[in-house]
Amino acid sequence: MGKLWNLRIVFLRLQYSVFPIPKFPSFFLGLLPIHMRVDLMDFIDWSGVECLNQSTSHSLPNALKQGYREDDGLNLESDADEQLLMYIPFMQVIKLHSIVVKGPEEEGPKTVKLYSNKEHMGFGNVNDYPPSDTAVLSPDNLKGKPVVLKYVKFQNVRSLTIFIEDNQSGSDITKVQKIALFGTT
């Protein structure tokens, strides 16, 4: 009986593979060239997004949400000092390929550490874990050039923690104009 069921399932699968329903992102993405990977913004679980040390009047959505992030006048700013810690959960498991961080030349972020699947991180324990990847942003990066990450380290990402350690000029306030994540689902 069990064998029969298995056969049935295999048969069903075959049927579906013969008449594939084209689910755009998952189906075609592997075929697409790297620079056309999907913007992962659509998969962010907004209710869980959190940012520590953000200024009340300049919060994370200014840098992360569609429409706001395209506006260079709308910034994410740090409050007490130059560091920022963002926690971005996703609605499904994703693979992260590259990241775009835009910011002003002076106050833009410099050292950015990325952690995958680390819940409940605070400034107190950022140094307890090794980052999945560290990026030092160049002026080119701040103008919108994507930073390609260690793809293998971000294969099974349910949540991403971005820690901005310092900024270009060493000033007290860090400003971020845009954060965009690219990868596949």
Partner 1 sequence: MTTGEQQVNESEMGTAQEVEANTAWLSFTEEGNKAIRCEWLHLQPIEKSVAGVRTCCRLIVSPSTGAAPIRNRLQTDLAGEDAETKGDSCCCVLLAAPVCLAALSAQRLACRCSWHGSSPLRGYKRVSCRQVIFASAHPPPRPGPPGRHIPPSMVLEATIIIVDNSEHSRNGDYVPSRFEAQIDAVNLIFSAKTQANPESSVGLMSMGGAQPEVLTTLTTDHGKVIDGLHRTKIKGRSNFSVALNVAGLALKHRQNKSQHQRIIVFTCSPIAENEKDFVKLAKRMKKNTIAVDIVAFGDLDSDTTKKVGAFHDAIKGSADGSHLAIIQPGPNLLSDSIVATDILAGDGAHYGNQDSSGGGGDHGGSGGGGGGFDFGIDPQADPELALALRMSMEEEEKRRQREEEAKAKAESKTSLEAVAEDGEGSSAAADGAASKDDNNKDKKDGPGAGDSMDTS
DSSP 149: P
Distance of CA 28 to the CA centre of its chain: 21
Phi, psi for residue 110 in degrees, rounded to 5: -115, -70
Kindly tell me which of 55 and 169 has the beta carbon lying closer to partner 1: 55
Stretch that binds partner 1, among 8-16, 24-32, 47-55, 166-174 (CB under 8 A): 47-55
Angle at 185 between CA 76 and CA 21, to 5 degrees: 135
Among 53, 117, 134, 184, binds partner 1 (CB under 8 A): 53
CB 96 within 8 A of CB 157: yes
Dist. CA 97–CA 34, nearest whole Å: 9
| Shortest spacing between CB 123 and partner 1, in angstroms | 6
- Does 151 participate in binding partner 1 (rule CB under 8 A)? no
Q: Which of 72, 88, 85 minimizes the C-alpha distance to 160?
A: 88
- Does 171 participate in binding partner 1 (rule CB under 8 A)? no
Structure tokens at 54: 């953000």
- Does 184 participate in binding partner 1 (rule CB under 8 A)? no
| Shortest spacing between CB 115 and partner 1, in angstroms | 16
Stretch that binds partner 1, among 49-57, 126-134, 137-145, 174-182 (CB under 8 A): 49-57
14 sits in which H/E element = helix 2-18
- Does 47 participate in binding partner 1 (rule CB under 8 A)? yes
- Does 181 participate in binding partner 1 (rule CB under 8 A)? no
Dist. CA 3–CA 87, nearest whole Å: 46
Largest CA distance in the chain: 70
- Does 128 participate in binding partner 1 (rule CB under 8 A)? no
- Does 50 participate in binding partner 1 (rule CB under 8 A)? yes
- Does 67 participate in binding partner 1 (rule CB under 8 A)? no
- Does 49 participate in binding partner 1 (rule CB under 8 A)? yes
Structure tokens at 159: 């949540």
- Does 120 participate in binding partner 1 (rule CB under 8 A)? yes
Chain positions contacting partner 1, by CB under 8 A:
47-54, 56, 79-81, 83, 87, 120, 122-123
